[in-house]
Amino acid sequence: MKTYDLVIIGLLAALAGVFQVTHGVLGIPTGFGMTVDLVAVPALLALYLFGFEHALWVLVIASLIITVVAPDSWLGASMKFAATLPMIAVPALYLLSTKSRVHFAVFLGAFFVLSLAAFALSGGANLALSPVIPKSLPGGSLILGLAPVALFCLMALALLYVWRAWGAGLRSKPLRNEAIAVTLLVAALALRGLAMVISNYYYAGPLFWGMSPDKLIAMVPWYAIAGWNAFQGILEVGVAWVVAYRFGFAERYGRW
């Protein structure tokens, strides 16, 4: 990357760090360990102004900052990373599909294979077959909760490779369209909601609260987790989109 790009990534990641440090004041606690905040807004702003690779690096550095300064350390960082990835990956996938449907189809095929592999290697297969096989593998619940996080990380690496290989010439102009932006937001929120429900019940919740998944499921309904994550995603995308396209930051400072 050029020096300008590195500086921009550093500045946006630092802004995410400021939002993390101040989220006790600016954030909204949900009651199950999640706080609605603005930490991911700089990553989405990087997407709208500079593209997927810049957004991913901002998110990675912001996650490292969360690990250092947040009370929940690496646990909160991993959940923030996994929850934000669909918000930047879905628009990037859409833009790639407008350039080459063949490349997009190949990527979707790889994503499908990775999904099946993650499901088979996690406790998910055992849970699905529980009427037939009542005993899950040792640690299956925790691995099931980690599966969405691991899957999104693999998806990000694959998408980064595809973006570097075939992303030249892409423009962010389609993302300015309100209808397209809302459609992509709904798709991203669907992925985020499903992943966060599983991860909160089987990974983050048991480690953070010291409770079993069964107790968490009884205490916190799935729609509360999905609903708060939807609100968080709408807030992040809304703020970043308005700053980029309504306040003119994309025209003034954008590079694609």
Q: What is the pTM of this model?
A: 0.85
For each successive 10 residues of the chain (256 residues), what is the average pLDDT? Answer: 85 94 81 86 96 95 92 87 93 84 66 61 51 46 74 85 84 91 93 87 84 84 92 96 93 83
Q: What domain range includes position 179? A: 3-253
User: In degrees to the nearest 10, what's the CA dihedral of 123, 126, 128, 131?
Assistant: -150
Q: How many domains does the chain have?
A: 1
Helix axes 52-69, 73-99, angle to 10 degrees: 180
- Where on the phi/psi map is residue 28: left (φ > 0), alpha (ψ -120 to 50), or beta? beta
Beta strands in the chain (DSSP E): 28-29, 35-36
| CATH number of the domain where residue 179 is located | 1.10.1760.20
As a whole number of angstroms, the distance between CA 217 and CA 200 comes to 9
The predicted structure's pLDDT at residue 104 = 65
Q: Do 83 and 228 meet the contact criterion of CB atoms below 8 Å apart? A: no
